[in-house]
Amino acid sequence: MPSHDTRLPLSRRGFLIASTGAAAALALAPAPAHAGARRPFGRFGSPTARLTPQTLYVDPKGRGDHATVKDAVTAATGSGWTLVLAPGTYRETVAVDVTRTETTWIGASEDPRDVVIVYDNAAGTPKPGGGTYGTTGSATTTVQADGFTARWITFANDWLRADHPGITGTQAVAIKVQGDRSAFHHCRFLGHQDTLYADSIALTSFARQYFSHCYAEGDVDFVFGRTTAVYENCHFRTLNRTDLAAAPYGFVFAPSTAGANPRGYLVTRSRVSSEAPEGFYKLARPWVPSSDTTARPSLVVRDTWLGPGIDPAAPYTNMSDAFPWQSQRFAEYRNTGPGARITVPENRPQLTREQAESATREAYLGDWKPWKEAC
How high does pLDDT run on average in the chain? 92
Question: β-pairing, 329-333 with 271-274?
Answer: unpaired
**Alpha-carbon distance 67 to 70, whole Å?**
9
Length of the chain: 375
Q: pTM of the prediction?
A: 0.92
**Alpha-carbon distance 200 to 363, whole Å?**
19
pLDDT at 38: 72
Q: Is 112 left (phi over 0), alpha (psi -120 to 50) or beta?
A: alpha
pLDDT at 333: 98
pLDDT at 343: 95
Short-list 269, 255, 117, CA closest to 198: 255
What are the distances in angstroms from CA 331 to CA 129, 266, 345, 352?
A: 45, 10, 12, 10
pLDDT at 367: 97
pLDDT at 37: 57
Classify burial at 201, counting beta carbons within 10 Å of its beta carbon; exposed 0-12, middle 13-18, buried 19 or more: middle
φ, ψ dihedrals at 346, nearest 5°: -70, -15
How sure is the predictor about 44, in pLDDT bands with cuts at 50, 70 and 90? very high
Short-list 341, 355, 370, 245, CA closest to 300: 355
**Alpha-carbon distance 256 to 320, whole Å?**
13
Convert the pLDDT of each residue in 241-272 to its tens digit.
Answer: 999 999 999 999 999 999 999 999 999 999 99
